Amino acid sequence: MNHQLPHSTATTGTLAPLEPGTVTLVGGGPGDPGLLTVAGLRALEQADVVLVDHLAPQDSLASCRPNCEQVWVGKLPRGEFVPQERINELLVEHAQAGRRVVRFKGGDNFVFGRGGEEWQACAEAGIAVRIIPGVTSSVAAPALAGIPVTHRSMVQGFTVVSGHVPPGDPRSQLDWAALASTRTTLVVLMGVKYLPQIVAELQTHGMDPATPVAVVAKAGHPDMRQVRGSLADIAELAQQVTPPAVTVIGEVAGLVWG
């Protein structure tokens, strides 16, 4: 597959009516239906078919029309799994059948959401695509836990990485030594499984073991929880945390309000 994204994206505004035979990529935010954008909600209301995964705000699907077809295409850890290639095929198939297709995901489609791959597959098939960005969990999850990823007197930036493969894995493309010395807030998505290896690697490359760390799980859901500690002890403290979770590493993770 050509890695250059073709230029066939629909250019109409995000609130314009959906057209038959098109695909709209909607980011649903971290899980709270209130954090779905107005444009995202409008797209759901018009859809003929919605391809949805488990991290999208499920309550928002109540806004779909009664005859809207809802197709589950999630990737549950150690559970049900729909390959990305099949998701791409379904988007194209439904659009070619003249339907108004919405791909509904959690967070933002373009932040580790494979939105670029889905856009590319549709565009190569001649399908017009509209992008409706979502509130990314990399920022929203810390915010919901009272953690600003930047703070004028503490840190001047933040770095977002994926932790779905551990340091040292041949598939890893990350420079952990550079991340350990970046002096920005480090936000790790999909890193719960390999949190022990991640924090150990950062310490190996010189990050202070006393650096504050917070793990925010199920942000935006009623059962949201957070675990706070330091680089030295967070792996032990967060042993019982399960995905979805976002890990925040840096001084801002130590802020406590009130």
Tokens representing 22 are: 């098109």
- Mark whether 218 is an active-site residue: no
Neighbouring C-beta atoms of residue 125, cutoff 10 Å: 17
**Do residues 74 and 114 touch, judged by C-beta distance below 8 A?**
no
In DSSP notation, 41-80 reads: HHHHHH-SEEEE-TTS-GGGGGGS-TT-EEEE--B-TTS-
Q: b/e map of 30-61 (b: 16 or more CB within 10 Å)?
A: bbbbebbbebbbbbbebbbbbbbbbbbbeebb
**Do residues 219 and 145 touch, judged by C-beta distance below 8 A?**
yes
- Mark whether 75 is an active-site residue: yes
From the list 32, 48, 53, 108, the catalytic residue is 53
Tokens representing 124 are: 């190569």
Rounded-to-integer distance, Cα 199 and Cα 227, Å: 15
φ/ψ of residue 213, rounded to 5? -140, 140
Tokens representing 199 are: 């924090």
* Active-site residue set: 53, 75
